[in-house]
Each structure stands twice: as structure tokens, then as C-alpha cells.
Amino acid sequence: MNIFQIFSTYKEGFLQGLGVTLKLCILVWIIGIILGTAFGVLSAKYSKSFGLITKIASTFISGVPVIVLLYWLYYPLQQELQIDIPAFNIAVFAFSFINVFMVADLVKNAIKDLPNQYLLAAKVSGLSERTILTKIQIPLIFKQLLGPVLLVQISVLHNSIFASLINVDEIFRQIQRINAMVYKPIELYSALAMFFIIISVPLTIIAYYLKRKYAKDYSER
Amino acid sequence: MLKGTNIQKIINGAQILKDINLTIQPSKISCLIGPSGGGKSTVLSCLSLLTNPTEGLVSVDGQDFTFPNGKSSYKSFPYPNVTVVFQGLFLFPHLTNEANILLPLKERNKISSNYDTLIDQLKIREVLKKFPNECSGGEKQRVALARQILLEPKYLLLDEVTSALDLETVNTVANILIDLKNNGTGILLVTHMINLAKTISDDFYFLDKGVMIESGDIAQLKTPETERLSKFLQIYN
């Protein structure tokens, strides 16, 4: 049985896994970018409240492996609280939590690193606060954030395979299941690697395109 | 007039400016000279309220701005009627030179009739479509000057804006400043170019270590009253 025959035979499971992985990632990307940006802006503005929360959360995220967080949310927490939350929702929550605070940290630092002199120059030129925000701050911050935020989103995609460990039927788990039946690990895991490359490469190309389009090198020569 | 009275600036316990009194009058060019690190740029920042003085009074055409304990007592400062060209220039790096110049003008729905004349006088037409980082220091200085001059400010504060220019362009800038002065603009020129200061200024202020050592009519630079200014002029003349 070659790889095409395997996929043809088990296409239902494979497509389901593909769908679950993409659904998980898209939800986490949207939540992470929207809430992360909002939290980042608030953290830069209110460093003693939101900023502190972001700092603590970022430290927690960098210190605790994703898989520990997933297990902790899925097993002991639910048991303690006597609740039953679907594994997919737990995964969305855990990955979104990580994505939100990673994006928030990037946004906060980009805002804080923006040289104040540009804002002073805008101020003495009589620009309104709205113009300063839309024409000066956001474009400069966007340029700085583009690359790092897209890299974080690619890492979300890669980390999504950990969801299989709490029984989310995403692509990795489906491949494992198919492998248990046909035992073709080289073909199946190579195909899985190809899947991740196929998803990651367009993202990397988009990142490169956006970087070229919006992130011109403005550094002084 | 734009006037600073008894301006004090203390940063982390260090007194940067002490009892500075300085007046910029319409239709006059004043120059602020002094050794590096003497507080000239801080005076400029305080007068334009980009930095709050710790104590003192800044008044613009009779409107007073006070700073009890370094806190501002005002809501809005009349930018760009008072405007600044910084030593660091601070052109917006993501905009072309043309967009840098036009953005503040569009905000005010006012494209100056002087636009083309000034662009040609400053010889920056060829660099309008370029980004600031694609230009030389002198070109950037001229773009920064154009950006603020076209706003037609009442008071123009210039911090070392001729430092990267060749003598021919310094002359051009000098003539532009004289034209502005003749049209009613009050100008404060922070410079190390004493000859330029002598040529175009009406009066001078000499600042050293945060203290205004001497001030007066520009002719007074020929016969300074203080030894400190004499020594300074010997070095910079």
C-alpha cells in the first residue's frame, strides 16, 4: 500500500484531522492577534496594571511547557472543578492564552521602543493625536511587528500537534491512528511533515511579501 | 512674543538650567550660543514646552504657561505657531521626504504658496520622492527646515540646523531666515556658527553650564563683557 492508497483509504480521517488542525489554528490566530494587540496597547499605556499582567503571563508562558499547560487544564483542573470541557475548547483556550500574551508582549515592546522624538516632531508640526496615531505610530509599529508576530503564528501551527495529547483529533493524532492500522511510519510522518511545510511556506511567503511591502528598511546608512 | 522667564530645569537632582530669561520677538532673529552640553537644546525644549520646566513661566503672545513643581498647568500649546527643527531632525522614516513635508500641511488644509519656491531655494526637489535614509545629512536638514518653515510659524526654533550644510547652502538658509524675519517670524537660532549668528541675528544669548552668562545686541559680540564669552569666541571665531 503506497502513501496515495493510504490517503485514499483513510481520506475521511485525514481530512477531518486537517480540518481540526486548521480550525484550531485559525481560531487561535484570530483570538491571539486581536486580544494580543489590545492587551499590548493597554500594557504600554498602563504599565502598572495591564503591563504587569502581561509581564507575569509572559514569564509564565516562557517557563511552563505548552504540554504541561494543556495537561493541567485538561485533567486536574476539570477534575477539581467537576466540569467537562471538550478537549478542542481546552486546546483553543491554552494556545490562545499563549498567543495572546506573546503577541501582547511584542506589541507592548514595539510601542515602547518607538522613538519619542518622532512623536515630538509630529507634535510641533501641529499634527492631531488622531493623525499621529494613524499616520506615524501605527505604520512604524506595524513595520516592527510584522515579522515577529507572523513567526509566533507559525509556531502556533507547529505547537498545535500537542493538542493530540489531550485527545483532540487533529492531524497528528489522525496520522498516528492511521499508522497504528497500516504501520507505514516513514510514509505517514513524511506526509505529515509535508503538510506542515505546505501550510508554513505560504505563511512565510506572505510574511516575506508583507515585509517587503510594508517593512522597508528605514534605518540610517 | 515668545518669552521664558526664570526657567529652571532639574533632572535627577542635577540643575540643568538656572533662572533662564529669554525673549524671542516677532521680526527678530536671536541666536543662542554656548559650548556643547551647556543646556542650549534644553532651553529650546523648555521654550517649546516639549519638556516642562521645573519652575518658571513661558508665555506666547500673552498666553501664560506655568509649571508649579514641574507640572504643566495648560491643556494645549499653540503648535505649530511655535515650532522646532531639531538637531536630530526626526523626519518620519516611513514617509518620503515629500510626504514628510506635506503631511502637516494637509492636516491644516494649507499648502503654502511658497511651496515650490522654497523647495527650489533649498534644492531638495530631486530628493522629494526619496526616503530620509536615502539622503545625506545636509539634504535631511533642508527637508526638515522646509517641513517646519512651510507651516508658516510665528516663532521658529532651530537647533543646529546648518551643521551639515556647505557654506553655499548655509548662505541660502541664512537668506531664507532673513526673509522669514522680514515677514514677521521670530526666530531662535541655536548654533556654533558664530559668523552666521553675527551675520543674521539681531541679538544673542550666551549659555554655559545652564546659566545665561551674557546677552544683548549682536554687536556686543565684538566686545564681550565677560571673560567666559571672550574665551568662547576665541575658540569658535
Per this entry, what is the length of chain B? 237
| B-chain residue closest to A213, CA distance | B94
Question: Residue A126 and residue B79: Cβ atoms within 8 Å?
Answer: yes
Average pLDDT of span A68-80: 92
Closest CA to B156 of B19, B4, B28: B28
Which of B94, B102, B152 should one mutate to test binding to chain A, selecting the residue with the greatest count of A CBs within 10 A? B94
Q: How high does pLDDT run on average in chain A?
A: 88
Instruction: Kindly list the distances between the CA atom of residue A72 and the CA atoms of A67, A87, A93, A157, A173, in Å, as whole numbers in the listed order.
Output: 8, 12, 12, 21, 20
Does this complex have an ipTM over 0.85?
A: yes
A117, A128, A136 ranked by CB distance to B88: nearest: A117
Q: Please indicate whether, in this complex, the C-beta atoms of A117 and B90 are within 8 angstroms of each other.
A: yes
Please tell me what DSSP assigns to residue B75: S
Å between B83 CA and nearest CA of chain A: 5
Query: In which residue ranges of chain B is pLDDT below 70?
Result: 69-75, 237
Of B50, B92, B133, the CB nearest to A220: B133
* CB-nearest partner of A127 from B84, B90, B107: B107
A2 CB near a chain B CB, below 8 Å? no
> Strands across the sheet with B14-24, in order?
B63-66, B55-60, B2-11, B14-24, B211-217, B203-208, B29-33, B186-190, B155-159, B82-85
Are the beta carbons of B97 and B124 closer than 8 angstroms? yes
pLDDT of residue B75: 65
Please report which confidence band the pLDDT of residue A125 belongs to, taking 50, 70 and 90 as the band edges.
very high
Q: Give long-range contacts, CB 8 A cutoff, 24+ apart: B219-225.
A: B221/B194, B221/B197
The pTM (predicted TM-score) of the whole model is 0.78
| Cα B185 versus chain centre, distance | 12
Reply yes or no on whether the pLDDT at A183 is more than 60: yes
Residue B96 confidence (pLDDT): 94
Q: Does A213 lie at the interface with B, CB-CB under 8 angstroms? A: no
Q: Looking at residue B79, what is its pLDDT?
A: 87
- Rounded to whole angstroms, the Cα distance separating B19 from B10 reads 11
Look at residue A213 and tell me whether its pLDDT is greater than 70.
Answer: no
Residue of A28, A23, A24, A55 lying closest to A39 (CA atoms): A55
Whether A41 contacts A169, CB under 8 Å: no
Residue A221 pLDDT > 60: no
More confident residue, A127 or B165: A127
Asked if pLDDT for residue A211 goes beyond 80, the answer is no
